[in-house]
Amino acid sequence: MDCGIAVSLKNGVRTIQFNNTKRKNTLTVKTFLTISEILNEDASNDKIRGTIFTGTGEYFTSGNDLSAALKQVLKIEGTIADIQFAYKAFARALIQYPKLLVVIVNGPSIGIGVTMCGLCDLIYATENATFMTPFVKFGITIEGCSTDLLPKIMGHTKANEMLLLGRTITAHDALQANLVSKIIPQRDIANFVEDLHKEIEQLNMASFINNKKLMKEGTQKDLLDTFHRENDYLSEALNSENFANNMALFAKRKSKL
């Protein structure tokens, strides 16, 4: 599948691996649209019990592929609009997915790789995982409902350090801040995934879906409202002179590498 992911299915458990290792598992328009299509189809497929996200190689994901932003600086039409459309489809699919969503962060996670965690049900990390949200650095605004979710999950001060100052936090920092529920030793990841599969396979799915709905139904509208509000700000930021200047500087630094 030529969209930067590897997809597998075992005993009703879907695994989606970010698999663009040459570019540190960046996510493109095609990646977002393909994942949203898979999630939406699986949501109504009784044979699917849940989805696990992880990464191939050293990175979980380094976030959005900035080549679209660089094209915007060069005045190529449609690039920012395309990625916003695809990102919205991806985030909505996560918010509305009725089954189990698991994230196993197997390395550095940047931007959307961090914010998507708050939209999933279970988040685990390996020892070498890190979390960074450089939104302010690039002159854009926070996304993925993280303005609401991450302060609630991590506490305001820890979330502010990551979201507003762009500080990188380690797996152990994330565990202490309740962003992840467990740290998996790198050598044990295969056994952990196998045990997780067995646990998911034993779920009573009708009961699981009803209970997840009970837990999420009261906040889902609020999440969608937050999502739309964040996207209004994000759209303004992405089309601003400030963002264009930041991307021009990024392109200049990249050309010297």
122-142 pLDDT tens trace: 999 999 999 999 999 988 999
Q: Tokens representing 148? A: 């609401």
Domains and CATH numbers, the chain: 5-189 (3.90.226.10)
Mean pLDDT over 28-40 rounds to: 96
Q: What is the structure's pLDDT at 65?
A: 84
State residue 190's pLDDT score. Answer: 94
Share of the chain above pLDDT 70, in %: 92
Sign of CA dihedral 182, 187, 188, 190: positive
- What is the mean pLDDT of the segment spanning 50-66? 94
Two structure tokens written together for 106 = 């197997």
- Confidence at residue 138, expressed as pLDDT on a 0 to 100 scale: 87
> Which region holds residue 150: left if phi is over 0, alpha if psi is between -120 and 50, else beta?
alpha
3-state SS assignment for residue 69: helix
CB 36 within 8 A of CB 42: no
Q: Are 186 and 127 in contact (CB under 8 A)?
A: yes
Give the C-alpha separation, 146 to 231, whole Å. 12
* Predicted pLDDT at 16: 98
Q: What is the pLDDT of residues 64-105, one digit of tens each?
A: 887 655 665 555 455 778 888 999 999 999 999 999 999 999
What's the confidence (pLDDT) of residue 157?
Answer: 96
**Which amino acid does the sequence have at 111?**
G
Compare 209 and 77 and report the one with higher pLDDT: 209
pLDDT band at 229 (very low <50, low <70, confident <90, very high): very high
Does position 8 have pLDDT exceeding 90, yes or no? yes
Q: Looking at residues 36-46, what average pLDDT do you find? A: 98
Q: How does residue 22 score in pLDDT terms, banded at 50, 70 and 90?
A: very high
Q: CA-CA distance, 235 to 148, in Å (whole number)?
A: 18
What pLDDT score was predicted for residue 75? 54
Output the pLDDT for position 238.
83
Q: Model confidence over 138-159: pLDDT tens digits?
A: 889 999 999 999 999 999 999 9
> What is the per-residue pLDDT for 70?
63
Q: Which residues pair with 13 in a beta bridge?
A: 10, 50
Q: Is the pLDDT of residue 251 over 70?
A: no
Neighbouring residues of 245: CB distance < 8 A, sequence distance ≥ 6: 139
Give the Cα separation of 237 and 152 in Å (integer).
25
Of 41-45, 104-108, 186-190, least confident by mean pLDDT is 186-190
Quickly count helices (H) and strands (E) in the chain: 10, 9
Cα–Cα separations (whole angstroms), residue 70 to 5, 99, 111: 23, 37, 17
Region 15-33 average pLDDT: 95
- Tracing tokens 């009573």 back to the chain, one arrives at 204
Residue 185 has a pLDDT of: 96
